[in-house]
Amino acid sequence: MALQPHFGKQGVLLVNLGTPDAPTPAAVNRYLGEFLTDPRVIDNLPGVAQQLLVRGIIAPIRSGIVNPFKAGGSTKLYQELWTENGSPLKYYGEVVTEKVAAALGDDYVVRLAMRYQSPSIEAALGELLAEQVSSILVFPLFPQYASATTGSVHQEVMRLLSKQQTIPDVKLVNSYYEQPELIKVFADNARDLGDLDRYDHIIFSYHGLPQRQLKKADDCNHCYVVDGCCGSISRVNQFCYSAQCHATTRAIADNLGLSPDRYTTSFQSRLGFDDWAKPYTIDVLEEWAKERGAKKILCFSPAFVADCLETTIEIGVEYQEEFEKWGGERIDLVPSLNDDPRWIAALASMIRQETREAVA
């Protein structure tokens, strides 16, 4: 039971990574400029060097803002991703927020924020505080913890709240990578596709991270030091992104009754030349197509709860094209959670579990 009675409603802040406001060079440049200058995202450069590199070279070139007559690579990809509803990440975020609020009822105030661009964390927190909520649950829409995602969200929330004269009770959700209801939704989405035995192999593809960031999570004492470091979760690696990803894979595979030889955990979206979490999804696909003659692959993306660039375009288009070049035929994507009623129910249930003591 709460130490003191709460007179206001329970605030809930759902936070995803972010998306450009439009698929235009200017909007993509703004998004990349904010995203890639976060010191938790690019963590191996001094602040001034990072600002100069991102705002002077990376963002202008990738967005195409340096050439107003030709969109850059990132802008073209967002143009492919965009739908009549706009960015899928933002659209589904808004729909989920509305439906979760309805499921939770009048005792809750639910707001959506993006770590980068809009709606901003600052604006969403302002709305919750204006509602005079008694407490705020910060719920990042990333099942696995990473410094560059959940850690960045938590830091920004604390930075903004530190400016307030009065700070309500705040609870920060770290991760929910093995939460049974979440796992069941991912597994059921695969079951909805039919007989899984028709696939030569199943890949669980997660967004990658540089290995240096993984090592920082345990002070460089476990990750890539101990053999089989991701084989189980312990006190030492409880906050390791890679270990949590492998745990998510095992939980979904167990739910589906898959034997370990039927699936691989891998990582995508590598940038630069540093070593990232391995194996790389693109390498796994190449091996299965070229060396094992695989024709059909099923791919989960359990680090993402909505359609986005990494799922729809990177896997669904770019990896599909490469797979065909290597002799494969088809990569089927397990549908994202998006606004699936089962995901809405699971999310509302997790929020209730996290806030039960606060509203008691």
- DSSP one-letter string for 128-196: HHHTT-SEEEEEES-SS--IIIIIHHHHHHHHHHTT-SS--EEEE----TT-HHHHHHHHHHHHTT--G
Best CA proximity match to 340, nearest among 191, 189, 204: 189
Domains in the chain (CATH in brackets) are 10-175+342-355 (3.40.50.1400), 180-333 (3.40.50.1400)
Q: Provide the terminal-to-terminal Cα distance of the chain, rounded to the nearest Å.
A: 5
SS3 content of the chain, % helix, strand, coil (to 5): 45, 15, 40
360 residues of the chain, pLDDT tens digit each: 567 778 899 999 999 999 999 999 999 999 999 999 999 999 999 999 999 999 999 999 999 998 766 667 999 999 999 999 999 999 999 999 999 999 999 999 999 999 999 999 999 999 999 999 999 999 999 999 999 999 999 999 999 999 999 999 999 999 999 999 999 999 999 999 999 999 999 999 999 999 999 998 887 778 888 888 899 999 999 999 999 999 999 999 999 999 999 999 999 999 888 999 999 999 999 999 999 999 999 999 999 999 999 999 999 999 999 999 999 999 999 999 999 999 999 999 999 999 985 444
Binding annotation: 207, 310
Q: How far apart are CA 154 and CA 171, in angstroms?
A: 10
3-state secondary structure (DSSP) of residue 299: strand
Structure tokens at 298: 């099923």
Looking at residue 66, its pLDDT comes to: 83
So what's the pLDDT on residue 360?
47
CB 264, CB 298: distance < 8 Å: no
The confidence score (pLDDT) of residue 227 equals: 83
| Full DSSP string of 182-251 | HHHHHHHHHHTT--GGGSSEEEEEEE--BHHHHHHTTTTSSTTTSTTTTSS--TTTTT-HHHHHHHHHHH
Beta-sheet strand order (sheet of 169-172): 108-116, 10-18, 135-140, 169-172
The CA distance from 306 to 338, in Å, is 4
CA distance 161 to 13: 13
Written as six digits, the tokens of 22 are 């439009």
What is d(CA 207, CA 308) in angstroms, rounded to the nearest whole number? Answer: 12
Position 68 scores a pLDDT of: 61
Cα separation of 244 and 232, whole Å? 9
The pair of three-digit structure tokens given for residue 61, joined into one six-digit string = 């070139």
Torsion of CA 100, 304, 186, 343, to 10 degrees: 0
Coil/strand/helix, residue 7: coil
Annotated binding site for Fe(2+): 207, 310
